[in-house]
Structure 1
Amino acid sequence: MNSITNEVTQVTCAIIIKGGKILAALRSRQMSESWKWEFPGGKIDEGETAEQCIQREIKEELAVTVSIKERLASVIHIYPDKTIELIPFICEIAEGSVCAVEHEKVSWFLPEELRELNWAGADKRIIQEVISKFQVKA
């Protein structure tokens, strides 16, 4: 029997869209899965909804206010030390300019460029859906 508990941590992430590009954040050396790309977000606090969480986390991590456009299907991802339920939201910037407060850097990518990045494990599970959803239809 392994030591992983059955507890699942709920984590939100924001797929922020602007001008046909999608924002990705590079995890810093102090973070787990350092030097991997992710959609910014974080753990849901007790008594907080997923929607409240993503808005709080994006304000803390990127210094912007986002408006939520759509909630995508969650994915469960098992890391060696924990299991998370990643809850993705499609968002747009409502106010402010993006600033990498906690990440090494943030960049904007075309949907088809996302495949080329070295993604954190859970985020990797939603990349194809994001690319399919936002590629320009001919």
Structure 2
Amino acid sequence: MLLVACAIILNSQNKVIVCQRSTSMHLPLKWEFPGGKVELNEKPEECLIREIKEELDIKISVIKQLSINDHHYLDKSIRLIPFICRYLSGEINLKEHVDFKYLDKENLLDLDWAEADLPILKEYLCLS
């Protein structure tokens, strides 16, 4: 099972940063919480800080972990480890994704999400 960390990144207005996968990625054009594969001997929180810097060119801080989601696609299984994070600095510069949005919590369900992210999205929406 592939270990993947993902970030629900909140900016100063508490809008969530979401990213759209490129056409060359698995699950093309689906929306997701950004993140990436946890490397050997790397903590998920460390992975997120590294991956967000590599993929979006911004700095974040990790606030809180949400429930882990094990998801089975036809061709692979992933263990998605989500964290609520705070945007610290930098301008978003997409390296892998084709688009990003800053959305209010109530508009998140309007997107076409990657399946593994849906339980995480639902848990986040239940938080007050």
Per the shorter chain, which TM-score range?
Answer: over 0.9
Q: How far apart are residue 38 of structure 1 and its match?
A: 0.2
1:29 aligned onto 2:23: yes
- Give the structure 1 partner of residue 124 of structure 2: 130
Which residue identity does 1:92 align to in structure 2? R
Whole-angstrom distance in 1 between the partners of 2:88 and 2:15: 16
Q: How far apart are residue 13 of structure 1 and its match?
A: 0.3
Note the aligned Cα RMSD (angstroms): 1.0
1:65 aligned onto 2:59: yes
- Under a length normalisation based on structure 2, what TM-score does the superposition of the two structures give? 0.95
SS of structure 2 residue aligned to 1:125: helix
| Matched-pair contact (CA < 8 Å) for 2:66–2:120 | no
Moved over 3 A (4+): none
1:42 aligned onto 2:36: yes
Q: How far apart are residue 73 of structure 1 and its match?
A: 1.2
Which residue identity does 1:10 align to in structure 2? L
Q: How far apart are residue 95 of structure 1 and its match?
A: 2.1
Structure 1, unmatched stretches of 5+, are 1-7
1:117 aligned onto 2:126: no
Q: How far apart are residue 97 of structure 1 and its match?
A: 1.6
Which residue identity does 2:96 align to in structure 1? E
Larger radius of gyration: 1
- Partner of residue 9 from structure 1, selected from 2, 16, 19: 2
Task: String of CA shifts for 1:67-102, please: whole Å, max 9, x gaps.
Answer: 011111101100001111100011111221222221
Task: String of CA shifts for 1:43-88, please: whole Å, max 9, x gaps.
Answer: 1011111111001100001001110111111011000011111000
Aligned residues with identical type, % of pairs: 41
Structure 2, unmatched stretches of 5+, are none
Q: Count residues in correspondence.
A: 127
